[in-house]
Amino acid sequence: MPPSSQPSPPSAPLMSRVLDTAFFRRTDTAAIARELLGQYLFARGTDGQLAGGRIVETEAYAGENDRANHGAGGRRTPRTEVMFEAGGVVYMYVCYGIHHMLNLVTGPAGRSDAVLIRALEPTHNTSILQARRSRKLTRELAGGPGRLTHALAIDRSYNRLPLPSEHLWLEAAPTPADNSILAGPRVGIDYAGADAELPYRFRIADSPWTSPASGRPA
């Protein structure tokens, strides 16, 4: 966990509006995942330094019938419990022993819905992001869910943080037009059977900060 005696979120260039719990508590998680494209994400990392960027790729994990969802079938465990909370909290877990995944819990209490943040266009304090990753300012800096959390220096200790908090928050920006958003199947979830085909992965079509597009306009 980062030091908590840091200054509050700055009136950043963005500071148009901080997304609050009402944004996350709506019931259509796929729509939220889509609307999160273009929004700005800021985090104060474990080193206490603030950085952020624009979300360019997300995935929705929606409901107990979605077998790719950690909470599928209403499976409540110490890990998944946070997914059943009302929208507006952070769900983080470790994948492949190395990578920390950032998810934003959505929907009403009792449903295991969340959105995985998969790629970021670095925009604020990019030199800090680069230093943490020892990378140049390219797609590889924060494109990919593990790379993104490494660049932001956030980990499992951020699990259950409310949105917004002084450690992590989102700021509103225009959502891209439908014709510049691509929807396609999620990746890395072959075990989910037919649910792996659901078009729950959303990307900004022409962004150089996410993988080259395949999929259908949203």
Partner DNA sequence: CGCAGGATGGGCT
Partner DNA sequence: GCCCATCCTGCGG
User: Cα 135 to the chain's mean position, in Å?
Assistant: 21
Residue 158 CB, nearest approach to DNA (Å):
13
CA–CA separation, 14 vs 199, rounded Å?
A: 30
Note whether 188 binds DNA by CB under 7 A. Answer: yes
Residue 14 CB, nearest approach to DNA (Å):
24
Note whether 189 binds DNA by CB under 7 A. Answer: yes
Closest by CA position to 31, among listed 211, 218, 196, 180:
218
Note whether 147 binds DNA by CB under 7 A. Answer: yes
| Of the candidate residues 9, 44, 55, 69, the single one contacting DNA (CB under 7 A) | 69
Closest by CA position to 43, among listed 139, 133, 163, 196:
163
Note whether 121 binds DNA by CB under 7 A. Answer: no
Q: Which of residues 71-110 bind DNA (CB under 7 A)?
A: 75, 77-80, 83, 91, 93-99, 101, 103
Instruction: Output 25 or 79, the one with its CB closest to DNA.
Output: 79
Note whether 125 binds DNA by CB under 7 A. Answer: no
CA–CA separation, 24 vs 30, rounded Å?
A: 11
Token readout for 155 is: 């980990």
* End-to-end alpha carbon distance in the chain: 37
CA–CA separation, 196 vs 68, rounded Å?
A: 7
| Footprint of DNA (CB under 7 A) | 59, 61, 68-70, 75, 77-80, 83, 91, 93-99, 101, 103, 114, 116, 133, 135, 140, 144-148, 150, 156, 186-189, 191
